[in-house]
């Protein structure tokens, strides 16, 4: 969701700016702001916030945050323990460059966070207006307020302080840019524009600067917004959750059906294997492992080896998979002849010859025997032995 901006007005209310086309829609309506104000930035007048630029030698961001209060200790009226320091984002193109800081009292921060919490905006960001000013020496006039960036400092002062204060602040900055006719007249200089002549115009200007990536968020360190785990907005996901649940049930249903079919095939194969063992090796009493051990690596007359039962079964099932509609009915081992006999159900007589050809292509010797019609199916007998 797009960022929404609000200006804290003198009466304690919020004037809100929402993106609308290429501009902004202004009102005091708080609707449309995300839960706990997650997409809201509140602009403070900045009268009680000082901006400085300081070189902070540090190896990482944690060290920079610890060193910042010490670096500005001589520039603030309150003690470091009573002050909160917020840092600008590090300049990745020049990590050793001075960092911009905003310093506010702990009392102000606690007061503002309580203000946000009372309105259900616990996670809204706080930004001092003067931290949004573009780089370079400048004064900007707003209703009852003057924002300034001069040298290494940024600040906001009450417009009623008078001409003498402005002159003392700007005496060392002859090339500054002035926005506002009253400031320009007081200093005897010219202005580049009128500044903001209303709170609405002021909010729009601040929002435009913020969209350019300017400003320092004050919610840092101990005042960083904490996001609790909550179920707000879960109703929006009910439909998607229902669809996901239905899809999951369907998926599990398909898996269950496939698993059942595979289990049935496995049971049938086990039954065939046990029948095979009982017929070929009566002494095994249907023990498939014992029958496999007895048949594996055996030699026939003249030292000719016969393929193992496992290999023969694999060859037959592989060939059957290539003939649509074929089904193995029986499989037996004829011990005296050292060959395997199979009875197979086909869709047509041509499939009998096709299976025989496929088995012969494996290097084994396959012969088709009696083939007969049984209802809509064709039943064929085949024998399989070692190729010559």
Within this chain, do residues 199 and 57 fall inside the same structural domain, yes or no?
A: yes
**pLDDT per position as a tens digit, 195-234:** 999 999 999 999 999 999 999 999 998 899 877 655 455 5
Residue 380 sits in a domain of what CATH number? 3.30.1360.100
Please, are residues 351 and 372 in contact by the beta-carbon 8 Å criterion?
A: no
**pLDDT per position as a tens digit, 7-51:** 999 999 999 999 999 999 999 998 889 999 999 999 999 999 999
Within this chain, do residues 125 and 217 fall inside the same structural domain, yes or no?
A: yes
Could you list the residue range(s) of the whole structural domain that residue 380 is in? 296-385
Torsion of CA 144, 80, 105, 167, to 10 degrees: 0
Nearest alpha-carbon partner for 351 in 312, 322, 313: 322
**pLDDT per position as a tens digit, 127-147:** 999 999 999 999 999 999 999
Question: How many residues does the structure list for the chain?
Answer: 388
Q: Which residue has the higher pLDDT, 248 or 293?
A: 248
Number of domains present in the structure of the chain: 2
Sign of the CA dihedral 278, 281, 283, 288?
Answer: negative
Question: pLDDT tier at 281 (50, 70, 90 boundaries)?
Answer: low
Residue 337 pLDDT > 60? yes
Task: In whole angstroms, give the CA distance from residue 201 to residue 112.
Answer: 23
Residue 69 pLDDT > 90? no
Distance between terminal CA atoms of the chain?
77
Residue 71 pLDDT > 80? yes
Considering the domain boundaries, does residue 371 fall inside one? yes
Q: If you average pLDDT over every residue of the chain, what do you get?
A: 84
Task: In whole angstroms, give the CA distance from residue 115 to residue 23.
Answer: 28
Within this chain, do residues 205 and 346 fall inside the same structural domain, yes or no?
A: no
- pLDDT average, residue stretch 101-105: 93
Query: If 0-12 CB within 10 Å is exposed, 13-18 middle and 19+ buried, where does residue 235 land?
Result: exposed
Considering the domain boundaries, does residue 69 fall inside one? yes
Within this chain, do residues 306 and 177 fall inside the same structural domain, yes or no?
A: no
- pLDDT average, residue stretch 301-327: 71
Within this chain, do residues 42 and 119 fall inside the same structural domain, yes or no?
A: yes
Q: How many CA atoms lie within 13 A of 299 on its CB side?
A: 4
Considering the domain boundaries, does residue 244 fall inside one? no
Considering the domain boundaries, does residue 274 fall inside one? no
- Give the residue from 198, 227, 256 where a domain finishes: 227
Considering the domain boundaries, does residue 249 fall inside one? no
Tokens 């904490």 found at? 226
């Amino acid at each position: 969701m797009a960022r929404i901006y609000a200006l804290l007005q003198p009466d304690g209310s919020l004037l809100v700016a929402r993106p609308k086309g290429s501009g902004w829609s202004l009102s005091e309506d708080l609707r449309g702001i995300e839960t706990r104000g997650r997409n809201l930035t509140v602009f403070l007048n900045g009268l009680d916030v000082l901006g400085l630029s300081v070189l902070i030698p540090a190896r990482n961001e944690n060290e920079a945050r610890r060193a910042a209060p010490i670096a500005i200790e001589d520039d603030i009226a309150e003690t470091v323990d009573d002050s909160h320091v917020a840092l600008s984002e590090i300049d990745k193109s020049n990590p050793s460059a001075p960092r911009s800081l905003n310093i506010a009292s702990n009392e102000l921060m606690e007061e503002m966070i309580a203000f946000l919490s009372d309105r259900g905006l616990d996670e809204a960001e706080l930004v001092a207006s003067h931290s949004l000013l573009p780089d370079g020496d400048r004064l900007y006039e707003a209703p009852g307020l003057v924002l300034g960036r001069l040298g290494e400092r940024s600040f906001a002062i009450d417009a009623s302080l008078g001409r003498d204060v402005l002159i003392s602040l700007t005496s060392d900055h002859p090339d500054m840019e002035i926005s506002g006719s009253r400031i320009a007249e007081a200093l005897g200089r010219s202005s580049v524009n009128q500044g903001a002549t209303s709170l609405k115009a002021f909010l729009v200007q601040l929002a435009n600067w913020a969209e350019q990536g300017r400003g320092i968020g004050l919610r840092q360190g101990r005042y960083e917004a904490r996001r609790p785990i909550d179920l707000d907005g879960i109703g929006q996901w009910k439909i998607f959750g229902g669809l996901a649940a239905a899809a999951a049930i369907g998926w599990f249903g398909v898996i269950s059906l496939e698993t059942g079919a595979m289990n049935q095939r496995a049971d049938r194969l086990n039954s065939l294997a046990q029948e095979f063992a009982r017929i070929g090796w009566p002494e095994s009493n249907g023990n498939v492992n014992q029958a496999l051990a007895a048949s594996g690596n055996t030699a026939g007359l003249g030292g000719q080896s016969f393929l193992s039962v496992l290999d023969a079964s694999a060859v037959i099932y592989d060939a059957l998979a290539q003939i649509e509609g074929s089904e193995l009915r029986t499989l037996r081992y004829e011990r005296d002849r050292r060959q395997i006999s199979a009875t197979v159900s086909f869709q047509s007589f041509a499939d009998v010859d096709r299976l025989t050809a496929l088995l012969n292509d494996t290097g084994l010797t396959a012969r088709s025997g009696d083939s007969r019609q049984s209802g809509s199916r064709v039943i064929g007998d085949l024998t399989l032995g070692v190729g010559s």
